[in-house]
Structure 1
Amino acid sequence: MHRRMIRVVGIAAMLAAGTALAGCGAVGGIVGQLTGGSPLDDSSAFAIEVGDCFTEPTADAEGFISEIAAAECALAHDDEAYASVLMADAAFPGDDAALNQAEDACSSRFFDFIGAASDYAGTLNYSYFYPSSGSWDAGDREILCYVYDEAGQTTGSLKGAAS
């Protein structure tokens, strides 16, 4: 259902690599940049919050996210964060279980956010960022859900857009 699964896998792998690189300061260059060209440092790699809009992150040849840019929601943008869920597991549940939790958490919240029934067949879709084993070890427990329009960039929030 999600055309952006490569990005999710890339982010999970990047987060694991970022945790290993955090001590040498390389995370800023690998993780990405905010609007204005400022590299993200290892404390702001998870800066996107519910309600934030952003442009499609750039991935390198290995699928790692190399840039992410915040965007004003009132201007054209690709994605909008609509939900944040903290995983309650005591230990990292594994990649498949983390992916399944992200899918479950974001699916129902997606339909509520856009104001549609579960049989919605429009161009709005969702994806998510979720912890990797490496980011879990660094304290990451967040699943961040975001919505996008398969037809292209949007302006303004997509909250209630399908109703």
Structure 2
Amino acid sequence: MPYTAGPYAGTPGGPGPTGLPGAAPYGQPPRRTTNGLAIGSLVSGIVCCLPPLGLVLGVIALPQIRRRDQAGKGLAVAGIVLSALSCLLLVIGIATGGISTFWGGFKEGMDEAARSKSPFSLRTGQCFTPDGKLQDYATDVTVVDCERPHIGEVTGGFKVTGFDKWPGEDAIDGIAEKRCETVNGGYALDTWAVPADVWLFYYLPSSQSWRLGDRTVICAFASEKKPFRGSVRSDAPLLTGDQESFLKTVNPIETVTYREPEEDPDEDFTANKVWAMEVLGAINTAYAELGQRTWPAEAAPSVAALRKELAAASKQWLKLATAADADAYWEAYDPAWETLPGDLGADARTALDLTGTPPVGPAGEGGSV
């Protein structure tokens, strides 16, 4: 019977067609293993991470392949060639500065990507610039060093509570304005250090994010007109005891004066009287608290002078707050403002190493937050 080529149908491990135990079926070459170092050489040469490693692995692999009759010579040769080229490029890059330029660009790109955040991932003290106009709904902001120009600085945040369902943007806006005013006031006690065109700002959850569980309001100082430089932070940990005490005493006067009703006393007499009484209360409280502390020698005379001014202002604001009607209110209005010290103790601030000059707005007028 003539012999036909094909797999040998003997018992496993028995003699094959060649007469050798365990040999491969007739017509197929013996199976050869691939050298592992050759594979490593090629991979190292391709990825260009450690070109000398690929070169070394390839050189070691070649004699092993010959000695062990393994496959992989082509892989080893390719790894040696690619690694040699990578080494050459590395040397050229170091000599010309190209590696440094590439790494600098790569690092800058990674840093920029890391600084791109959702507004609701911002943290207290971070300065940022929104990707778009400040007043638009923002999905991304870029965190920057506060010494570089930026649009906003985060002062803190809080979670809205007390609602089982979306309460509407107006409701959250009202809560945010009051809460963020307090947060900002504690973050920047030295209000005169805040530029005149930098104001209260906050990010609110949207109706869509609310449904996903978002309840966070982010408070900030921000400028709609132009970027500003430097941090406005001057909270308690950054102040001395005297600085903190002085600012916490006089700041309420500044805050309440900005709450003057929009309606004239002719239109809403009651609201204006309530406001005048609030100003009077802040003046009297400041007068009393400034007198309860022993101030440093260099600041004591200025603080005493401020208390004297506040005592005079208290008498006039009492007349305003107890006016019988709108006409009497108007009569007491200008004298009350004239007696209230507009600088709120600039000399005392300077003596305490605080900002002694109020920020100047675009029109050259003083202003503060």
The interval holding the TM-score normalised by the smaller chain is 0.5 to 0.7
- Trace 1:78-93 onto structure 2 (pairs within 5 A): 78-91=151-164, 92-93=166-167
Contact 2:119/2:140 (CA < 8 Å) preserved in 1?
Answer: no
CA 1:57 to 1:35, structure 2 compared with 1: closer, same or farther past 3 Å?
farther
The reply on whether 1:114 has 2:199 as its aligned counterpart is no
Cα separation, 2, equivalents of 1:116 and 1:130? 26
Q: Which of structures 1 and 2 has the larger relative contact order (alpha carbons within 8 angstroms, sep 6+)?
A: 1
List gaps (5 residues or longer) in structure 1.
1-33
Give the residue type in structure 1 aligned to 2:143.
A
Choose 1 or 2 for highest CA Rg: 2
Contact 2:155/2:220 (CA < 8 Å) preserved in 1?
Answer: yes
Equivalence for 1:136: 210
CA 1:107 to 1:150, structure 2 compared with 1: closer, same or farther past 3 Å?
same
Identity fraction in percent: 24
Q: What TM-score comes out, normalization by structure 1 length?
A: 0.60
CA 1:149 to 1:65, structure 2 compared with 1: closer, same or farther past 3 Å?
closer
Equivalence for 1:72: 145
Equivalence for 1:28: none
Contact 1:35/1:71 (CA < 8 Å) preserved in 2?
Answer: no
CA 1:144 to 1:66, structure 2 compared with 1: closer, same or farther past 3 Å?
closer
Query: 1:156: Cα distance to partner?
Result: 2.7
Contact 1:58/1:66 (CA < 8 Å) preserved in 2?
Answer: no
List gaps (5 residues or longer) in structure 2.
1-109, 236-353, 356-369
CA 1:123 to 1:40, structure 2 compared with 1: closer, same or farther past 3 Å?
closer
Q: What TM-score comes out, normalization by structure 2 length?
A: 0.29
More helix by share: 2
Partner-residue secondary structure (3-state), 2:156: strand
CA 1:67 to 1:145, structure 2 compared with 1: closer, same or farther past 3 Å?
same
> How many positions carry a matched residue from both structures?
123
Cα separation, 2, equivalents of 1:134 and 1:70? 24
Q: Pairwise CA RMSD of aligned residues? A: 3.3
CA 1:142 to 1:37, structure 2 compared with 1: closer, same or farther past 3 Å?
same
More strand by share: 1
Contact 2:115/2:143 (CA < 8 Å) preserved in 1?
Answer: no
